[in-house]
Amino acid sequence: MLIQPNHRRKPEFNERYYICRTIENYSTNFSIIVQYNRQISHNLLSNALYSLIKKNSWFVQNFFQIDQRNPATANGHNFEVRILEHVKFNDVVKFHQIDKFDEIIMESLNDHIFSMNNATLPLWKINVFEEMRPNGNQFISVSFDHSNYDGLSGVQFQKDLAKELLTAKDDLFYDVLFDYQRDFGNLPAKILPAVDNLTDLFDLGVLSSSSSILKKWVPFYDTICGFIWPSDPPIFDTDTPVTKNLQTKYKFLKLTSNQIGQISKYCRSHGITLTTYFDIICICALQETVFSVVKSSATHTSSLVAINGRRYYSDEIKNFLYGTLVCGAPIILPTIENKLEAMQIFHQEMTNDINTKKSFQSTGNLLKHANVWEYFQNKINKIGGRFTLTISNLGKISNSNDIFKFEQMYFVSNTGVVYNFVLNITTLPNGELTAVVGYIPEFEKYELNNKPIMNTFMEKFYDLLILTSS
C-alpha cells in the first residue's frame, strides 16, 4: 500500500535519539498500568481504541529506514516518520490470565522492544492482565516507545482511552482498528509535526551554540574548559562494565492519602517539592543499605530529574500535546548527612534548571550536533557512566470522567544503559501515591544482615519517607 508523501516526514533530532535507543537495543519501553473501577471487555476496548485512533493520527505512526546506509553512519537521517497501513486489534492488544499482579508482571512488560520498519504496528501496545482469583482485579497496561511518548503522554493515553470507554458500545468488535484507505478521510492533510519543532524548548542559547562550534573546531577546547570549569566529581557506580543487558528488576510501595498529606505539609513548611523529598529520601535509604555493601570510592551521587517541558507553554500544549517534551536535569550531591539541608540544595538546583531551561538547551546541543550512535556506543563495556538515580514524578492524576475511574496506577520504566536506579511516582485522584523502583539486576546478588539488600532498601525507604516528615 502506498502511503502518500504528505503522510511522511523526516524525523527530528529528539526522534533520532530515540530511534537509536530502540533499534540498537539501548532501552526497551515504559508502561502506564491502571486498574479501572470496572471491568473492560474485548469488544468495549476495541470500540474505544477505534474511536481513539480516529481522533488522533499520532497513534498510527512509526519510523522506517528509507535507504541502505548504516543508521550509525547516517546518524538516523535515513529514517522517515510514516502513517501506518493498518492496525489490527489482536496485533496490539493481548489478554492474559494471571495469579497476581506483581513485580514479575512488570518485568515481563519490560522485555518488549518495539519494532520499527513495520507498517502494521504502532509505537504502543496494550496488555490486559486479569487475576484468576475470585474478585480478582483487571489491569490495563499500555507500553510505549519513548520516541513518540513520554510519561505524561502515557497517562494522557489512559485518560483519553477512559473517555472513549465512556461512550463506546459493547455489542460490536473492531478487528481492524485502523486502515489507511478506509480511514483516509479522518487523517490530517499533513502528517503531524514533531514536537521538537513546535516550541523553542530545545533551542540553544548563544553560549551553548558557541561552545558546540568551538568543540568541533578548536584543538584542546575541552581541556581548556576543564581547567576553567572543573569536571563533575566521581559518582557512585558499581565495578561492572555497562552492557546491553536491558533486564530491569522492580519493587514498589504505596502511601495513603493521609501519609502523603503529612509529607506534603512538611514539604510546604520547608519550601520544597514532593519530588525533592522523594529523591533525597531515596538516596539516604540507598546510603544506609546498598551503598554500605556495594562499595564505591566515589563520595557523590547523581540524580536525573525529569522536567516537564509543557509547563512553559500555552494550555493548548499543556492540555495536551502528545510527544516527548521531557528532559532530565542532573543534580550531583555529596554524601548526605543532613536531609533537610540536602533537600534545600536539591530544590534550589532543580528550580534554577527549570527557570533557565538549561537542561533542555544542553539536550538540544547534544542531539543536534553529536552522533547519537557514537554517544551510546561509547558507554558500552566501560565502568561507570550511569546516573545513580533518575526520578520522574507525574503528579496527581485526575480522572477524565466519573464512570471509568483510576483505582490503581503504576509507572514502570527501563534502566537501559543509563541508570542504576529508577524512581517513578504517580498519585491517584484520591491522594494515594505509588512509587515504583527499577534497578539493574546486579543488585539482586547482595545481602545485608542475611536479607536481600533490595528488600532491606525498600523497608528503609518506606520508613524514612514516613519518619522524616513526622
Total count of residues recorded for the chain? 470
CA–CA distance, 414 with 108 (Å, rounded to integer): 12
What is the CATH code of the structural domain delimited by 232-396+411-468? Answer: 3.30.559.30
In this prediction, residue 296 carries a pLDDT of: 86
In this prediction, residue 219 carries a pLDDT of: 45
Q: Which element (helix H / strand E) includes 328?
A: strand 326-334
What is the CATH code of the structural domain delimited by 5-197? Answer: 3.30.559.10
- Is the fold of 5-197 the same as that of 232-396+411-468? yes
φ/ψ of 120, rounded to 5, equals -125, 5
Domain boundaries, the chain: 5-197, 232-396+411-468
CA–CA distance, 182 with 314 (Å, rounded to integer): 34
Mean pLDDT by 10 residues, the chain (470 residues): 95 96 97 98 98 98 98 98 98 98 98 97 99 96 98 98 95 96 98 87 62 46 41 87 96 98 98 99 98 91 96 83 94 98 98 95 89 95 95 98 98 98 98 99 96 98 98
CA–CA distance, 246 with 139 (Å, rounded to integer): 24
**CA 152: distance to chain centroid?**
9
* Region of residue 431 (left: phi > 0; alpha: psi -120 to 50; beta: else): left
> What cell numbers appear for 240 in the block?
561492572
> What cell numbers appear for 461 in the block?
525507604
Cell 524525523 locates to: 11
Is residue 438 helix, strand or coil? strand
Residues 6+ apart with CB under 8 A from 80: 8, 9, 10, 11, 63, 64, 66
**Contact at 8 Å (CB) between 387 and 304?**
yes
Q: Which element (helix H / strand E) includes 465?
A: helix 453-468
Residues 6+ apart with CB under 8 A from 362: 208
Cα distances from 106 to residues 109, 129, 200, 467, in angstroms, run 5, 11, 36, 29
- 422 bridge partner residues: 390, 438
Is residue 12 helix, strand or coil? coil
CA–CA distance, 364 with 303 (Å, rounded to integer): 20
| DSSP H stretches of helix in 168-289 | 206-217, 221-228, 257-270, 274-288
Q: For residue 12, with 0-12 CB atoms within 10 Å meaning exposed, 13-18 middle and 19 or more buried, which class applies? A: middle
CA–CA distance, 271 with 348 (Å, rounded to integer): 10
| DSSP H stretches of helix in 289-427 | 290-293, 315-318, 339-356, 358-369, 372-377
* Region of residue 113 (left: phi > 0; alpha: psi -120 to 50; beta: else): beta
Question: Beta strands 124-131 and 138-144: pairing type?
Answer: antiparallel
CA–CA distance, 222 with 21 (Å, rounded to integer): 26
Residues 6+ apart with CB under 8 A from 154: 30, 31, 32, 142, 144, 411
In this prediction, residue 207 carries a pLDDT of: 46
CA–CA distance, 281 with 469 (Å, rounded to integer): 11
